[in-house]
Amino acid sequence: MRPPRHHDSVPDQHPCRSLNRSKAEPRQAKLHSEVPIKVNSQLEASSTVYQRRSRTSEKTPPFLGTTLLIGWCVVVYINYFQRFETVARLLAWIRVALGWS
Amino acid sequence: MNVVVVLLLLVIAAGVGRRLLDLLHLPATNMAEEGLLSLALGFGLISLVTFLLGIAHGLYPMLILAMMAAFAVVGFRGLVVLWRRSQSASAPRISWITGVTLCIVVGHVIANLVVALTPPAQWDALVYHLAAPQTFLREHYLIEMPDVEQTYWPIAIEMLYMVLLPFGGDTAPQLLHLAFGILATGSVALMCQRLFPGVPPGLAAAIFIAQPVVNKLVGTAKIDMGYALYAILGLHAAVVWHSTRNWRWLCAAAIMCGLAAATKLIGVFLVLLLLPVLFVNQRESSTSARWSALRAAAVVAGVITVIISPWLIRSALLTGDPVYPYLSRFLQALPVETARTHVISITGLVRIPWTLTMDVLPSSAAGAPLFLALLPGLLLIRGRDRIVKPLLVGVSLYIGVFYFFSLLEMRFLLPALGVFSILAAYVAIQLTSTTWRALRIALFVVVFTPLAASLYVAARRVPVYWDVVVGKESRDAFLTRRVGPLHDVLRFANQTLPTTATIFAGWEVRRYYSDRRFLSGNSIWWINESAGIATPQELRNKLRALGVTHVLLSWDYHNTLRDMFRAGLLVHDPETNLLLSPSFQPYYRTIYRAGPVELAELR
């Protein structure tokens, strides 16, 4: 069994597999091997700079912050989707059911 | 036929553009980058040559055909190169998230394809995007249209519409605009791939195409998606320059921004979006970095000026103002009709993200709620990529300028929306790396809800357009339904008035469906021309001097303007329009009326 690594907290089934460092490296290598035309080596190197920075910057977001963000998203969506008649009717029904109106 | 004509234009543009890419020695790293840059450059060159043909009184279908044939011959080798590249490129592995987002993108494209196949009815298309090319073709050169001030601006995309109109009919420009939308969406994916290789580019593309404003405009004959394509490719090239310091990429960025400015004058403000990217240096020492950034800014400004100069020179020669009417406004105190959509204040500035999402004009389209919802998420991501900050600063500067100096319409902000789409995809993917399953699921719901809602809205529009596409509804019935009574009046005028007739419309500006000479009274030109007119008699004499034989009175538009004036949104009181005052009634005789629009013979 291989030794555990700190970034293994990202599950393997995550849809964006390149976020998982153990999966990302072979995939990026494959992408660059597919470059079909003359490749500027400086460009390729810089692209790798972005990738490396991107990977080193990834840390698990805080639980409380993410929960608050989802709460904020709900507020925004309720305000926004009220312009759809069905949603407006549903919200009105919920307000009545909760005795808010 | 219209689809074939548009595809031919795309193929020719790709071939010619690929040859230009060779000339620039631009080291594109993949097939998508090469294809998109080739197409953008090709469109730019074709529109420039068409413009020169127009200046030289050469706007005849046969000459346009010969021009395109010459481009096809020149671009053939470029096409062969592109074909070989596409054969050697292998298909990338597609994750489920890419699959889902691709389905969302394709769904939007199909729904908007139905819209694009219907006769044009969108306001600006009928005012000048199609009306100007139609008039130029009729006169065989770029005739001055003083009563349509927009025709003094850079109108590069309209030059492409002029190439299409004689061969593909008036739905071809709409299909080309849809193609621009698809290419702009591809550019967003390309830039996302470059900036954040860990983020599925399809997600950024889906977020972009699911914008209400994109969805609303992409199937119409406007030019905004062309503007978005050039602007986003320009930003992409600037980002590549930022990491490589290869000056060819900086030139590419400047060329793309120049083409964007030649499409829409506000493209000159793209420099604001680029500046923070240009000034943030990751490698060099501070002094040399500053000089390098200043040189870069000078190159960008210089190239943009060169590319839009043909348009500016034309405007300066015709009006004395290269950016008519904006400089004239200060130099000659023109009574420019201005409409404002918002009151400027500090709290208003702070509230922009909320305002853009929730409180927009009915005529405009709201922003997608995803940006407002997800952007605070940037605060939760520790150790953000260094490029994120200059991009955010650039976008803020760009939006800030529009807040202070322009209408806060989402279509003007399309380049910023492209960047936002990438940042939103980045934030979404970073946040969904959380280890808590419930939060991860909630975040996926947050991301996909607006995308699904947008697809639903797009699909709901299909039945409105479907009947005319399959021939169950006639073109005229459709246009009467979409354009209103004005279409009936113009159809009557086309059938009954002599070909020498000239129609003067008090307020109406939508001229595309008029086959007769059409002058609009809702223009700076008319405000100046009518400045000294005080009596109905003088007005009649002035109209006679202009060759006017008939007047078109659009009462619904008059009432709309009156309401806008009362709400403080207009400078001039529409009630002062003598043409629609009771005192002018003895000078005309109504010959046709459809609802609130009437056509009258001038006595």
Give the residue with greater pLDDT, B550 vs B270.
Answer: B550
**DSSP per position, A6-62:** GGGGS-TT-S-GGGSHHHHHHHHHHHHHT--S---HHHHHHHHHHHHHHHHH--PPP
Distance CA A23, CA B197 (A): 13
A–B: how many Cβ contacts below 8 A?
157
Residues 62-101 of A with CB under 8 A from B: 62-63, 65-67, 69-70, 72-73, 76-77, 79-81, 83-84
Q: Which residues of B touch A22 (CB under 8 A)?
A: none
List CB contacts of B173: < 8 A, sequence separation 6 or more: B120, B125, B129, B130, B133, B160, B161, B164, B165, B221
Residues B315-341 pLDDT 10s: 999 988 898 888 876 665 454 444 455
Average pLDDT over residues B432-448: 84
B297 C-beta neighbours (distance < 10 Å), count: 17
CA distance B271 to chain A (A): 23
Average pLDDT over residues B296-300: 86
Nearest to A43 among B95, B246, B442 (CB): B246
Average pLDDT over residues B338-347: 64
Residue B88 to residue A36, Cβ atoms within 8 A = yes
The pLDDT of residue B402: 79
Asked if the model's pLDDT at residue B225 lies above 90, the reply is yes
Asked if the model's pLDDT at residue B401 lies above 70, the reply is yes
Half-sphere exposure of B389 (CA within 13 A, CB side): 10
B368 C-beta neighbours (distance < 10 Å), count: 29
Strands B597-602 and B588-594: antiparallel
Distance CA B142, CA B441 (A): 57
Angle in degrees, CA A52, A53, A59, rounded to 5: 105
List CB contacts of B305: < 8 A, sequence separation 6 or more: B258
- A interface test, pick of B243, B280, B371 with most A CB neighbours within 10 Å: B243
| C-alpha distances out from residue B433 to A10, A54, B51, B112, B310, Å | 6, 13, 51, 34, 51
Q: Which of B434-438, B493-497, B503-507 has the highest mean pLDDT?
A: B493-497
Which residues are bridge partners to B601 per DSSP? B550, B589
Taking alpha carbons only, the member of B211, B219, B280 closest to residue B422 is: B211
Output phi, psi for B472, to 5 deg: -75, -25
Are B36 and B104 in contact by the 8 Å Cβ rule? The answer is no
Nearest to B31 among A11, A36, A50 (CB): A36
Share of chain B above pLDDT 90, in %: 53
The pLDDT of residue B144: 93
pTM of the model: 0.87
ipTM of this complex prediction, to 2 decimal places: 0.78
| Minimum Cα–Cα distance from B436: chain A residue | A63
Would you call A38 an interface residue with chain B, using a CB distance cutoff of 8 Å? yes
Give the residue with greater pLDDT, A14 vs B193.
Answer: B193
Residue A59 to residue B97, Cβ atoms within 8 A = no
The pLDDT of residue A2: 46
Q: Which residues of A touch B246 (CB under 8 A)?
A: 40, 42-43
Place B281 in a pLDDT band, splitting at 50, 70 and 90. Answer: low
Would you write out chain A's pLDDT as a tens digit for each of its 101 residues? 444 444 433 333 444 433 433 444 444 444 444 444 444 444 444 444 444 444 444 567 788 888 888 899 999 998 888 877 778 888 888 888 888 76
The pLDDT of residue B385: 66
Output phi, psi for B560, to 5 deg: -60, -45
Instruction: Report the first-to-last Cα separation within chain A, whole angstroms.
Output: 61
Q: Which residues of A touch B382 (CB under 8 A)?
A: 57, 59
Tokens of B25: 């020695």
Residue A50 to residue B366, Cβ atoms within 8 A = no
Asked if the model's pLDDT at residue B100 lies above 60, the reply is yes
Residue A39 to residue B382, Cβ atoms within 8 A = no
Residue A57 to residue B27, Cβ atoms within 8 A = no
The pLDDT of residue B2: 87
Residue B198 to residue A72, Cβ atoms within 8 A = no
Helix (H, G, I), strand (E, B) or coil at A82: coil
* Single-letter code of the amino acid located at B419: V
Residues B230-256 pLDDT 10s: 999 999 999 898 888 888 999 999 999
Residue B433 to residue A43, Cβ atoms within 8 A = no
Ranking A21-35, B25-39, B72-86, B122-136 by mean pLDDT, the lowest is A21-35
pLDDT averaged over every residue in chain B: 88
